[in-house]
Amino acid sequence: MSEGGGLGVSVVIPVYNEEAVLPALFARLYPAMDALGRSYEVIFVDDGSRDRSAAELRRQYQARPDVTRVVYLRANAGQHAAIMAGFEYARGRAVVTLDADLQNPPEEIGKLLAAMDEGHDYVGTIRRQRQDAKWRDVASKAMNRLRERITSIHMTDQGCMLRAYDREIVQAILDSREVNTFIPALAYLYSGKPTEVVVAHEERAAGESKYPLYKLIHLNFDLMTGFSIVPLQVFSMVGVGISVASFLFVSYLALRRLIIGPEVEGVFTLFGILFFLVGVLLFGIGLLGEYVGRIYVQARGRPRFLVRSVLGAEPAPPGEGG
Ligand code: UDP
Ligand code: MG
């Protein structure tokens, strides 16, 4: 990371209804950043919060206008779209993403930047001790393994958003006008020299998780279908296998009927097979729907986010989320 004249680090933090945790975040983030001795800016993206987060952010901007910028989105756009919005405004050579809830300690940012100094353009993180609920831990491990095999994106710990990207990677992410994306995975695709460092992980400091089980499952669907067509191919293969097997089975039944004569006892077996086939079909239609849905969303071409106002921005960024 060369500090050739420009700003050293941009820290991008999406904020959605986090009034409970923001004071604690400010109290730890700013001293940690000051201690690094690098030029930096913190970009908060208020993702359409309905609590007092917006006011808290304004207060913090007034307290540290030199290093703080706040981007207010018009409506809730989702965590990753909010980060994208932050990317649009980030000016640093290195861009660090961080959650607002203090699950990833801001004191670890220095570690990521040190790895960037060594020439890495993408620094992922592995949580030393997961502090999530047990089922989440197990579920996310299983998903990780599956994702890695399907998408060839190597992320030991996909759930951790404390990550650092080089300027060029951030630009590439902004240029790929993708909706419903997963930023760390996209960044990994573009990275030439990725690495991972181990960071501490804490319990959410206050407030509650914005990711219920449903959203978590959907995120993983996005990851699979957004970065790979293997699920589609697997499904076609399964389809081929089943067609061949059923063809053989039907031929056998026909022969048997010709040679031994009609029979009724096998009816339930046939039902069993039928239901199985219907199940496979429905799953396949759902899978197709995932892809068609992505095409639909992409074809619609709605903006990923809409900016209402910005605190502390001098030049307007080139585009608005497009
Ligand atoms: N977030 C956001 N928009 C959303 C949901 C979440 O900006 O629609 C932010 C949230 O404020 C937090 C980060 O994304 O800073 C991660 O959310 P959370 O901690 O709830 O996720 P978890 O850690 O439980 O997976
Ligand atoms: Mg969290």
**What pLDDT, in 10s, does the model give residues 104-131?**
899 999 999 999 999 999 999 998 876 6
Structure tokens, 287: 């899978």
For position 3, what pLDDT does the model report?
42
Q: Which ligand is nearest to the CA of 75?
A: 1
Closest CA to 99 of 8, 18, 168: 18
Decide: 99 in ligand 1 pocket, CB within 6 A.
yes
What pTM was estimated for this model as a whole? 0.81
What's the CA gap between 272 and 234, in Å, rounded?
23
Say which range, 42-51, 71-80, 237-246, has the weakest mean pLDDT.
Answer: 237-246
State whether the beta carbon of 101 lies less than 6 angstroms from ligand 1.
yes
- The pLDDT of residue 80 is 92
Residue 317's pLDDT band (boundaries 50, 70, 90)? low
Ligand 1: atom nearest CA of 207 is 20
Spans of all domains in the chain? 9-208+303-311, 230-300
Q: Give 9-208+303-311's CATH code, choosing from 3.30.2350.10, 3.30.360.10, 3.30.499.10, 3.90.550.10.
A: 3.90.550.10
The larger pLDDT score, comparing residue 320 to residue 251, is at: 251
3-state helix, strand and coil shares in percent for the chain, rounded to the nearest 5: 50, 15, 35
